[in-house]
Chains A and B, each alone.
Chain A
Amino acid sequence: MTQRLALLVAGAALILPLAACSPAPDGPTVFAASSLSGVLPGIEPEASYSFDGSSGLVDQIAGGAPADVFASADQRTMERAVSEGLIDGEPRMFATNHLVLIVAKDNPAGVTGFDASLDGVKLVVCATEVPCGAATQRLAEANGLTLMPVSEETKVADVLGKVVSGEADAGLVYATDAAGSDAVEAIDVPGAEDDPNTYWVAVVKGAAHAEAARAYVDSLVGEWGDDLQHFGFGPPL
């Protein structure tokens, strides 16, 4: 029996070293919000990237994922990373983004703007639990609207997908999402640019490539220009 137990333990021990053998690239490993996936590799191709929702990335870093740089799509998530002791130094803002209303191509539901024309159309938004949903909620209140969405998605990409496929008539997504799709038309939302979400970048505490990480952050913060603008981002505040 003890022999069996020993073999069992030996077996379990076999899978543990697997965690240690990840590749070691020359550039920094950047954990960045999904909305940056189109733009960052173009700005700094040397780095290796992992794109996901900001909140999930913080969980991964807290769990020991080998990140050198963390780029968040909102302030709240970056603050959480700081308060969990995952960040080295001060986070810095490098871009902004704001919500726009998108409608399916040719606007079959006849939406005229972020107004009463949304009544009765199939509207998809982010759930209030996620940053884009919280921003949507604030905009609706600021414009005196009560939204009746047919679906509240967890990811802004799912909102975009529903409108692109024509399954929904309209949706609220970030300007960058709208800029990245030919299948939707964007309509400005009053007040949206005054309530932007901000993009922050910082070096991760204990980064394996600390020098490269600092250089990456410096270049990204100094980068504001055509690259980011082309993808629909706004300048940092």
Chain B
Amino acid sequence: MSIPRWAWVPFGVALALLAVPILGLLVRAPWTRLPELLTSERALDALGLSLASCVVSTLLVLIIGTPTALVLARSTGRWTGWVRTLVTVPMVLPPVVAGLALLTTLGRRGLLGQHLSVVGIEIGFTTAAVVVAQTFVALPFLVVSLEGAIRTAGGDYERAAAHLGASPTRTFLTVTMPVLAPAVASGTALAFARALGEFGATLTFAGSLQGVTRTLPLEIYLLRETDTDLALALAVVLLAVAAVIVGLSQRLRGAHG
């Protein structure tokens, strides 16, 4: 298929808009001091916290998101439309709004939080709050991408399995999942990338303390005030991890079809 020639103009605009700022960041990054900067204690604390919390939140996303996508894809009826909207909204919500939503629900004086507080559970200012915030914003990415994949993946094999007497659970685990593995992997990668970049909800809901709640994006935000070089060095790391993950996700999606 040939590309109409005019399409190259908006293409150029898009490319310039997206790529030039990233190039600008890379040009300005303190490459020679990078190893020294990235091995500083606060850089390692932020990196470690970000990776650890993202692994946990991505696992949570996988465990609760996969069955959710299955239910949504296989259900009919008006309620599925509502639930689908509900599940998608956090994806487009401004991060600060997500943080406020979590705060007014799970905060110490929140709808649920005040009851949890009575029995001594307060998650504000803990790493658990970071994981909750990341899970909240990342979950829709897996659910939405996986639901589409489940719908388009033909149900023939599953019907055959069911016909041969396999239970729905067994069909799900031994037939549906292997077929969907690439889609699950790419959705997981996207969710991880989203969790890694989580900023607003964490800042509003979890706070910012080195090694406890100050993830990579929060550390960059703070360092911007005083240590531009370290902020840029961490930004390069975040960019690199994000690029690898998105690239991986695209490759997996490609393998899937």
Chain B hits for A165, CB < 8 A: 103-104, 107, 109
The reply on A11 being an interface residue by CB < 8 A is: yes
Q: List 5 A-B contacts (CB under 8 A).
A: A7-B9, A151-B213, A166-B108, A167-B124, A168-B125
Could you say which interface size class chain B belongs to? 20 to 34
| B interface footprint on A8-40 (CB within 8 Å = 1, 0 otherwise) | 111110110000000000000000000000000
| A interface footprint on B220-242 (CB within 8 Å = 1, 0 otherwise) | 01111111000000000000000
Chain A hits for B16, CB < 8 A: 11-12, 15
Number of interchain pairs (Cβ within 8 Å): 87
The reply on B257 being an interface residue by CB < 8 A is: no
Q: A150, B125: Cβ atoms under 8 Å?
A: yes
Q: B107, A129: Cβ atoms under 8 Å?
A: no
Question: A124–B205 Cα gap in the complex (Å)?
Answer: 13
Which chain B residues numbered 195 to 245 have a C-beta less than 8 Å away from chain A? 203-204, 207-210, 213-214, 218, 221-227
The reply on A209 being an interface residue by CB < 8 A is: no
Q: Using A122-B125, A149-B209, A161-B204 as known contacts, say yes or no to A127 and B222 having CB atoms under 8 A apart.
A: yes
Chain A interface residues (CB < 8 Å from chain B):
3-4, 7-12, 14-15, 53, 55-56, 122, 124, 127, 129-130, 149-154, 158, 161-162, 165-168
Question: A8–B15 Cα gap in the complex (Å)?
Answer: 9
Q: A8, B108: Cβ atoms under 8 Å?
A: no
Question: A167–B210 Cα gap in the complex (Å)?
Answer: 19
Question: A150–B11 Cα gap in the complex (Å)?
Answer: 47
Q: A167, B108: Cβ atoms under 8 Å?
A: yes
The reply on B79 being an interface residue by CB < 8 A is: no
Chain B hits for A158, CB < 8 A: 203-204, 208
The reply on B12 being an interface residue by CB < 8 A is: yes
Chain A hits for B207, CB < 8 A: 124, 150-151, 153, 162
Identify the 7 closest CB pairs spanning chains A and B, nearest first. A11-B12, A151-B207, A8-B12, A12-B16, A166-B109, A150-B125, A7-B8
